[in-house]
Amino acid sequence: MTQAPTPSTTAAGAQAPAAAASTPSNVIRVGYARVSSRGQDHAAQLELLNAADCRDIVEETISTRRKDRPKLQATVASMKAGDTLVITKPDRVARSVKELLVFLEDELAPRGINLHILTGICAGTHRPNGQTMSDKMLFLVAAMAAEMERDLISERTNEGLDAARAAGRVGGRPVKATNDVLAAARARRERGQSVTHIARELGVGRSTLYRALKDNDPGSPMA
């Protein structure tokens, strides 16, 4: 891990102001660089990240087709509230806008981690607890998308319950999870969430979701 430079000392023994005096000493900036094949290198990203006052830089080589990024996940898990993850472009951590919003809502926001994007239309520092709208815009969009997902699933579940009641089916076996619920549940399981947590977030019964996932993907282990 690269250490921050030691402040210089004047002849009288007083310390000269540090170059990055505006950055709190307890806040860590970690850079993340990713390429998709071993035929590529991280040089262009590293140049930008090195100029962005990163305390440490993590390099990962992994295909864009793969959803999992082990080094990125380990890096985020090691960071604390107030730390900043620095990337050159959003596509270094996500394959789509939807995946970026999920990453912000599920991984960074709960940990209080900021995201600094160095280039492109979203360039700047985005903070889940930002003081201004521009500071937290991406996180607000991510939270809105997650809320809409929960509300739509809840609405469809209630519509199914109403239809069951109208047909005289009250109580008994819970309403079967819809394709929308299963798609959302699979995506969350791939991010390591437990079935219990997913069921609570999506507003369906744990046993109903567990059974639906098992029936539709019998080769996959349940959590």
* Annotated active-site residue in 36, 78, 96, 220: 36
Q: What is the pLDDT of residues 152-165, one digit of tens each?
A: 676 776 666 666 66
Q: What is the pLDDT of residues 95-154, one digit of tens each?
A: 888 889 889 988 999 999 999 999 998 899 999 998 888 788 888 887 787 777 676 676
Q: What is the pLDDT of residues 53-91, one digit of tens each?
A: 999 999 999 988 888 899 999 999 999 999 999 999 999
| Band (168; pLDDT cuts 50, 70, 90) | low
Task: Read off the pTM.
Answer: 0.59
Residue that has been written with the tokens 């280039």 in this structure: 119
Question: Is 207 one of the annotated active-site residues of the chain?
Answer: no
